[in-house]
Amino acid sequence: MDKENYLNVNKAHWNERVSIHKKSELYELESFKKGNNILHQLERNELGDIRGKTVLHLQCHFGMDTLSLEMLGAEVTGIDYSEEAISAACELRDEMKLKSEFILSDVYSLPEKLDKKFDIVYTSYGVLIWLPDLKKWADVISHFLKDNGFFYIAEVHPASAIFDNTVKSVKDKILKVAFPYFAGQEPQMFDEAGSYADKNAVTVNNVTYEWQHSLSEILMSLINSGLKIEFFHEHSFTVWQQFAWIKKCEDGYYRLDEDIPLLFSLKARKENELNKR
């Protein structure tokens, strides 16, 4: 099967899960509609003051993070390849009387659909595994950044993704290596009902194809696209129940007793062409 077919299978999966996620406790949509900004303190601290900035949000799902960025004072454009996600995002924006623009597009096709440069390109949490080609991804990021603009990502640490997270019982608490760290020739195929937001949801489109990317691949793709890494941070906490026995702490983050990195975040800047000479 070629990459386009893999992506179409994944899109069917995501189209089905939009309505599930809107109703789930994890997303807390009703609280968000009342004005609760859902961006974590990690992103807010590391992004800094974005008032008046233009932001491109890649892989925006149904728009809650996009609209949260707007609440912080930015002018935001969100993109996603799921028709259901973009439809729900537009509906949510209109209900909340906000202004963010939403565009139906996969990341790779976006330069054909959008002619604009941005101060910031943003993406977060569980996005990279859906992308087969990080070189092209990084080139798209660079394409849309203004000179001196920056890219920001907070994402699941690829080292933590090698461990089996399908264990359902806390009694079976053990970090067991089950998945590769480096990318293979073909994506990994999974067939799992439900969703991370509602494990008991009844679903039909359960097959997904995922691409694992090492830290070196992520970093070098950005560097080779002309971006300069300003910071790279590894974190011992995460924002979701990655393992059955992970503990949710008072600050809202999840932590393990085991000392492994669970998230990373980085900021990379596109230097002014004049400064490169």
Whether the pLDDT of residue 128 is over 70: the answer is: yes
Pair 76, 57: CB distance under 8 Å: yes
High-pLDDT (> 70) share of the chain, %? 97
Pair 218, 234: CB distance under 8 Å: no
Contacts of 47 (CB under 8 A, 6+ apart): 72, 120, 122, 152
- pLDDT band at residue 274 using 50, 70 and 90 as cut-offs: low
How many structural domains is the chain composed of? 1
Q: Which amino acid is at 173?
A: K
Alpha helices in the chain (DSSP H): 3-23, 29-33, 41-47, 64-71, 83-95, 134-144, 215-224, 273-276
User: Three-class SS of residue 118?
Assistant: strand
pTM of structure: 0.95
Residue 26, domain member (yes or no):
yes
Please tell me the predicted confidence (pLDDT) of residue 201.
94
Mean pLDDT of 55-73: 98
What confidence tens digit (pLDDT) does each residue in 170-192 have?
777 889 999 999 988 899 999 99
User: Of the given ranges (40-44, 107-111, 166-170), which has the lowest mean pLDDT?
Assistant: 166-170
> What CATH number has the domain bearing residue 78?
3.40.50.150
Residue 184, domain member (yes or no):
yes
Mean pLDDT of 70-74: 98
Residue 88, domain member (yes or no):
yes
Residue 277, domain member (yes or no):
no
Please tell me the predicted confidence (pLDDT) of residue 277.
47
Residue 15, domain member (yes or no):
yes
Residue 195, domain member (yes or no):
yes
High-pLDDT (> 90) share of the chain, %? 88
Give the helix/strand (H/E) hosting 150: strand 145-156
Whether the pLDDT of residue 54 is over 70: the answer is: yes
Whether the pLDDT of residue 167 is over 80: the answer is: no
Residue 156 structural domain:
3-272
Residues in the chain: 277
